[in-house]
Amino acid sequence: MESKKHFGEYICRRRKELGLTQREFADKLYVTESAVSKWERGLSYPDVTLLRDICAVLDVSEHELLTASVDTERRTAERLAEKYLRLTRTYRVVQYVLYGAILLGCAIGNLAAQGTLSWFWIALGSVLLAASLTLAPALAGLRQELIPYRASISLGSALASLELLLLFCCLYSGGDWFPMAGMGVLFGMSIFIIPVVLWQLPLAALEGRRVSAYLLAETALLELLLLTGCLYTGGDWFPMAAVGVLFGLSLFILPVVLRQLPLPAALEGRRLSAYLLAETALLELLLLTGCLYSGGDWFPMAAVGVLFGVSLFILPVLLRQLPLGAFVARNKLLVWFAVETVLLFVLLAVGQWYSGGSWLWSVGVPVTLVGLSLPWGLMALGRYLPVGPWIRGALCAFWAGLWTWLSPWAVDRVMLANGWNDDPYRLSWPFAFSGGVGPVQTLGVAVFVMWFVAAALAVTGILAARRRK
């Protein structure tokens, strides 16, 4: 009974605060005056279907009506919200008046002084730049869907206003520097603006790829800045600079792009190979561009040399990751040796062409074969000889010693055949140490050490084989 009475007293008090009679209150709810009287005397509750209408007429919340008390927190929040709306409205109006007065004063002053609008446009660009930082966020806040993007809207409008200001200044001064300045400002500000835009805009296609999008956008803007600078200066250096910058930046950007962007299924698990191949191609393109820019003819020599040097480290990765067939899978080391050998001979051939000589078959190929016989022999003995590891190691050490002993004599024979040596190398027993310490004696010590290691490995292998038996 007490709750009904308390509920009725609250309705009666609230009705009187609004200046409504029982009849006026009843008419708004489409009920009888006696029903309202029973509510207020605590004799009955209103029908539950009338609660929302009662709240609307009495300007209370359902919580306040059901508890028969004023929700002070809600009322305070509503008052603060109204105060904030009034404050923001005043803030906008003040800026309208302030910026409008500035532009009006500048227009009148410009017309009075010069009879035309000239420097007024610079003032307009300056006002737009200021308004983009102060007024644009407030205007964006008027629409609920734009509130999360106020920072992007403000920064974007500031960039557009700054570009417009530069254009007005360039036209006023009669210069032609706007494209260069505009691109420089665009690139510089985009370093800070693009991250905000990418992180705020709801771009489903960029989900998880925002860093890649940022890096690619900045690279494109930098290349465009270089192109603008080249055109502005009347130079022809853009291709060289563009490829150089692309190669340098790709060293750091490409791994991120390959990790984040959706690649074809064939490249899954082969991102490192794709990265290495792309960087090699860009390096070769940089060499070609440099050769064309300098007007030289050294590109074939440099290209093959770089390809040979880079492949020493890249080829093992490619052979491991790319699907090259069962034979390659079983013989990766052999394939690596074969490819590098072919590239080395191609490099020699290109070197002869570039130098204009005729030393390839008389000196280049024989000396290279002598040098290659060491790694090829070690690879064949260590990888394919069907014996135990100790014996393979012994044979490799023996071959290294034998090569160390005989290779100087073999190279010397080639030099003598071409008349390039007046002091022939004399092949002697490697352990002959008489006559002091010199190159021959030093080689003899090296041969002795390697053959001693070979003998030790062979003995160890034989003993190990006997123990297993």
Residue 353 neighbours by CB under 8 Å, 6+ apart: 300
Answer whether residue 435 is part of any domain: yes
Q: Is the dihedral of CA 64, 70, 72, 74 positive or negative?
A: positive
Answer whether residue 10 is part of any domain: yes
Q: Which amino acid is at 231?
A: L
Q: Which amino acid is at 199?
A: W
Residue 86 neighbours by CB under 8 Å, 6+ apart: none
Give the separation between CA 67 and CA 435, rounded to whole angstroms: 117
- Is residue 297 within 8 Å of residue 291, measured between CB atoms? yes
CATH number of the domain residue 47 falls in: 1.10.260.40
Residue 360 neighbours by CB under 8 Å, 6+ apart: 348, 349, 352
Answer whether residue 28 is part of any domain: yes
Q: What is each CA distance from 350 to 291, 301, 314, in whole angstroms?
A: 16, 6, 22
- Is residue 150 within 8 Å of residue 132, measured between CB atoms? no
The neighbour count for residue 14, using CB atoms within 10 Å, is: 20
Per-residue pLDDT of the chain (469 residues; tens, 9 = 90+): 457 777 777 788 877 887 888 888 788 888 888 887 787 777 787 877 787 888 887 777 776 666 666 555 666 666 776 787 788 888 889 999 999 999 999 999 999 988 899 999 999 999 999 999 999 988 888 888 888 888 899 999 999 999 999 999 999 999 999 999 999 999 999 999 999 988 887 777 777 888 999 999 999 999 999 999 999 999 999 999 999 999 999 999 999 998 888 877 777 788 899 999 999 999 999 999 999 999 999 999 999 999 999 999 999 999 988 888 888 888 999 999 999 999 999 999 999 999 888 889 999 999 999 999 999 999 999 999 888 899 999 999 999 999 988 888 888 888 888 877 666 666 666 555 444 445 555 677 888 889 999 999 999 989 888 887 6
Helix (H, G, I), strand (E, B) or coil at 388: coil
Could you tell me the end-to-end alpha-carbon distance of the chain, in angstroms, rounded to an integer? 107
Which of 14, 43, 70 lies at the terminal end of a domain, its last residue? 70
Answer whether residue 230 is part of any domain: no
Give the separation between CA 64 and CA 54, rounded to whole angstroms: 11
Total structural domains within the chain:
2
Which of 23, 51, 70 lies at the terminal end of a domain, its last residue? 70
- CA 168 to chain centroid, in Å, comes to 35
Give the separation between CA 159 and CA 180, rounded to whole angstroms: 15
The boundaries of the domain holding residue 9 are 2-70
Answer whether residue 392 is part of any domain: yes
For residue 270, which phi and psi values (nearest 5 degrees)? Answer: -130, 30
Residue 277 neighbours by CB under 8 Å, 6+ apart: 314, 318
pLDDT at 85: 77
Answer whether residue 390 is part of any domain: yes
Give the separation between CA 351 and CA 359, rounded to whole angstroms: 10
Residue tagged 């509503």 (tokens): 78
Q: Is the dihedral of CA 434, 436, 442, 445 positive or negative?
A: positive
Give the separation between CA 237 and CA 454, rounded to whole angstroms: 59
Which residues of 246-354 form beta strands (DSSP E)?
none
Answer whether residue 287 is part of any domain: no
Answer whether residue 354 is part of any domain: no
Residue in 14, 4, 5 with CA at minimum distance from that of residue 54 = 14
Residue 156 neighbours by CB under 8 Å, 6+ apart: 193, 197
Which of 70, 91, 121 lies at the terminal end of a domain, its last residue? 70
- Is residue 118 within 8 Å of residue 172, measured between CB atoms? yes
